[in-house]
Amino acid sequence: MADAIATLPTQQLDPFKGVKKVPLEEYFTSGHRTCQGCESALVMKLMVKAAGPRTIVLGSTGCMYVANTTYYSTSWVVPWMHTQLGSSGSAGLGTAAALRVLMRKGKMKEEPINVIAFCGDGGGADMGLSAISAALTHTEYNFLILLYDNESYANTDIQLSGSTPWGAHTTFSPPGKAKRILHKRWKKNVAGMLAAGHPECRYVATVCASYAVEMMNRVRKALTIGGSTFVHSLDPCPKGWDYDPMLSHELGELAVNCGIWPLYEVEDHQLKLYGRTKGIAEKRSKRLPVRDYLLRQGRFAHFTDDDIDYFQSKVDAMWEKWVIPGVIPFASDILQDKAPA
Ligand SMILES: Cc1ncc(C[n+]2csc(CCOP(=O)(O)OP(=O)(O)O)c2C)c(N)n1
Ligand code: SF4
Ligand SMILES: [Mg+2]
């Protein structure tokens, strides 16, 4: 029975060997209404540029739905469909399964078609996590789930999500005189959780669009390897993070270079750090202090030196105490840290 539903062939998308090899064609074009400097819009553009024209994109509710499809207009050049908040996993799996049936019945030409279902952190790290988890166990279908993580429920005015960093000012966690820090939970480790929890899944990666070619090549690899795959992108958001829009690119670089956002891929159960993260791990580059990253953003403007030190200690623990730095936090002593009151 397993053979009867063997995975269909995928498109073979070789990595772009440098920025000059990236095609000029756009499949996510002008006319959208995202904020100036929105990194998630760049992620959409690069994601579908990497995938190419024979691609179907599905998107759950959030900024990348609302701002990109307004009153019968859209920036998407490829077929695109909205899906409910929390259902990118089921939409990706269902679309891949439907394509297979249509091809088997001869109602469509048989050809590899990329299916990408994207979601925000609210839709993916919180509400839709169970659907993504279920979808990642269906490795006989080819689809990629891309989580664009702007660290809040941005579209509904920056509410706190499971991806929001410790201490950040959101509309659900405003700093006040009685309590300076309202949000005291650490950001979920979604890519590590999904890689560790879905042993059949052949590809999970973290990316950041500040490293655009590397990011596109991870999307291409996920689509080429096939089965159900997952990519998690950290996306600076000028509105939610409260900074000058021209700093988006720099903030993405800083998140990686401060060690807050490690870049890695788990390919056929082999973990590889890549890019600047690999350089830091191999001690070829210095890990920058988190202060450089935090103080550029209004959402951390209320932080005292103690708060910054606490944040730094958590990131240090991630690098020095986790069983696999930045990926698997199974060391027992990291639970004994002391957060500032
Ligand atoms: C089931 C459901 N609950 C609530 C909403 C309202 N809603 C629309 S977009 C959104 C925020 C989604 O956040 P995220 O997935 O992080 O995407 P972002 O807006 O940050 O791009 C919410 C709560 C909805 N559309 N559907
Ligand atoms: S709120 Fe953030 S994610 Fe949403 S459109 Fe604006 S910059 Fe982009
Ligand atoms: Mg979000």
pLDDT tens digits, 127-146 = 999 999 999 999 999 999 99
236 C-alpha to center of ligand 2: Å? 9
Contact between 302 and 169 under an 8 Å Cβ cutoff? The reply is yes
pTM of the entire predicted model: 0.95
Percent of the chain surpassing pLDDT 70: 95
Non-local (6+) Cβ contacts of 177 within 8 A are none
According to DSSP, the β-strands at 69-70 and 270-273 are: unpaired
| Average pLDDT value over all residues in the chain | 94
Q: Say if CB 261 and CB 314 are below 8 A apart.
A: no
Whether 102 shows a pLDDT value over 80: the answer reads yes
Q: Band the pLDDT of 60: cuts 50, 70, 90.
A: very high
Enumerate residues lining ligand 2, CB below 6 A: 34-35, 38, 40, 63, 67, 150, 154, 237-240
Q: What are phi and psi of 148, to 5 degrees?
A: -95, 120
Ligand 1 site, residue 61, Cβ cutoff 6 A: yes
Which atom of ligand 1 lies closest to the CA of 153? 13
Q: If you measure from the C-alpha of residue 238 to the centroid of ligand 2, how many angstroms do you get, rounded to a whole number?
A: 7
Is the shortest distance between the CB of 123 and ligand 1 below 6 Å?
Answer: yes
Compute and round to an integer the Cα radius of gyration of the chain.
20
For the stretch 62-71, pLDDT in tens is 999 999 988 8
CB 125 within 8 A of CB 162: yes
Atom number of ligand 1 nearest to Cα 66: 9
CA of 43 to the centre of ligand 2 (A): 12
What does the pLDDT look like over 2-27, one tens digit per residue?
A: 444 557 899 999 999 999 999 999 99
Measure the CA–CA gap between 120 and 155, rounded to whole angstroms.
10
* Spatial CA neighbour of 220 closest among 278, 265, 261: 265
